[in-house]
Amino acid sequence: MTARVVALRCFPVKAAGGQSLPALEVGADGVVGDRGWAVYDHADKLASGKHSRRFRRMDPVFTLVAGRVGEETVLVLPDGTDLVAGEPGTDEGLSDHFGEPVTLRREGVIPHQDAAPISLVGTATLAELGRYEGDGNPLDPRHVRANIVVETTEPYVEESWVGREVTVGGVRLRVTEPTERCRMVGVAQVDLPERPGMLKAIADHHALVAGVYAEVVTPGRVALGDEVEPS
């Protein structure tokens, strides 16, 4: 099977909205700049859509959008204010937004990625999930926070790549496991309406998984239109 890349996205701040790009630079540790920063609470937990040992559910993070401007990471507040990561006043502005003391920090001891550094999903999977919930339209890939969206004709075909290597443009990936989903798949985000029944739909129809995780075998560049070739 040969497919093509139809969307690429980087999320410079964990759980915040990201940016759609025509190409991604992929290093040994994943997409350059992806999840390089995260919002931390007073207990050093990361703002996320769920509670866990590392994460804390903090829904104000979903009203933020992050992008990379040159070498800087910029967060945009709902009122349009730009906050530059690492600059004086950024933590104060975020704390006002969250209603509690928070800090924006680079990745350190606590990893910002989930099970692997790259996430990938097929368009047929998004369409299939959309059939089971809401208005029937395909699930927006931003709900599953995919770095790479691949045009596919068979739902869940990307899961057949688990344990295999896949060439995507100038990058070679090893697909490691299906992605287990959490409430993030349904929450409202900037320019993205709520899909309240999506998590249940995924649980009922596909064992709570959608899309796959991958690790980097050979770094390089991937661009829109690049071929995707499982080996």
CB contact burial 153-167 (16+ within 10 A = b; e otherwise): eebbbbbebeeeebb
Choosing from 87, 106, 125, the residue where a domain stops is 106
Q: Would you state the pLDDT for residue 1? A: 60
Domain count, the chain: 2
State which amino acid sits at residue 1. Answer: M
pLDDT by residue, tens only, the chain of 231 residues: 668 999 999 999 999 999 999 999 999 999 999 999 999 999 999 999 888 888 999 999 999 999 999 889 999 999 999 999 999 999 999 999 999 999 999 998 888 988 899 999 999 999 999 999 878 899 999 999 999 999 999 999 999 999 999 999 999 999 999 999 998 899 999 999 999 999 999 999 999 999 999 999 999 999 999 999 998
Question: Are 80 and 142 part of one and the same domain?
Answer: no
Q: Tokens standing for 51?
A: 């509670």
Q: Would you state the pLDDT for residue 52? A: 86
Choosing from 106, 129, 155, the residue where a domain stops is 106
Residue 16 domain-assigned?
no
Question: Are 93 and 127 part of one and the same domain?
Answer: no
Backbone angles phi, psi at 210, to 5 degrees: -160, 125
User: Which helix (DSSP H) or strand (DSSP E) does residue 68 occupy?
Assistant: strand 65-69
User: Which helix (DSSP H) or strand (DSSP E) does residue 9 occupy?
Assistant: strand 3-10
Residue 21 domain-assigned?
no
How many angstroms separate the CA atoms of 136 and 144, rounded? 17
Residue 18 domain-assigned?
no
Question: Are 95 and 172 part of one and the same domain?
Answer: no
State which amino acid sits at residue 226. Answer: D
State which amino acid sits at residue 109. Answer: V
**Nearest residue to 110 via CA among 47, 184, 179:** 47
Choosing from 84, 106, 128, the residue where a domain stops is 106
**Nearest residue to 199 via CA among 137, 117, 139:** 139
Task: Assign residue 121 the CATH number of its domain.
Answer: 2.40.33.20
Question: Are 155 and 54 part of one and the same domain?
Answer: no
Question: Are 86 and 133 part of one and the same domain?
Answer: no
Residue 44 domain-assigned?
yes
Residue whose structure tokens are 């990471």: 73
Question: Are 134 and 226 part of one and the same domain?
Answer: yes
How many angstroms separate the CA atoms of 56 and 48, rounded? 6
Question: Are 86 and 130 part of one and the same domain?
Answer: no
Question: Are 102 and 183 part of one and the same domain?
Answer: no
- Give, as one character, the DSSP assignment of residue 201: H
- Taking a C-beta distance cutoff of 8 angstroms, is the pair 31, 216 a contact? no
- Taking a C-beta distance cutoff of 8 angstroms, is the pair 198, 185 a contact? yes
In sequence order, which residues have a C-beta less than 8 Å from that of residue 52 and are 6 or more positions away? none
Question: Are 225 and 118 part of one and the same domain?
Answer: yes
Question: Are 99 and 135 part of one and the same domain?
Answer: no
Question: Are 138 and 187 part of one and the same domain?
Answer: yes
Classified as helix, coil or strand, 213 is strand
Question: Are 180 and 204 part of one and the same domain?
Answer: yes
Q: Would you state the pLDDT for residue 51? A: 83
Q: Would you state the pLDDT for residue 136? A: 86
Residue 61 domain-assigned?
yes
Q: Tokens standing for 85?
A: 């990561």
User: Please, what sign has the CA dihedral across residues 153, 9, 46, 79?
Assistant: negative
Q: Would you state the pLDDT for residue 154? A: 96
Q: Would you state the pLDDT for residue 109? A: 83
Q: 5: exposed, middle or buried (C-beta count within 10 Å: 0-12, 13-18, 19+)?
A: buried
**Structural domain of residue 127, as residue ranges?**
3-10+114-230
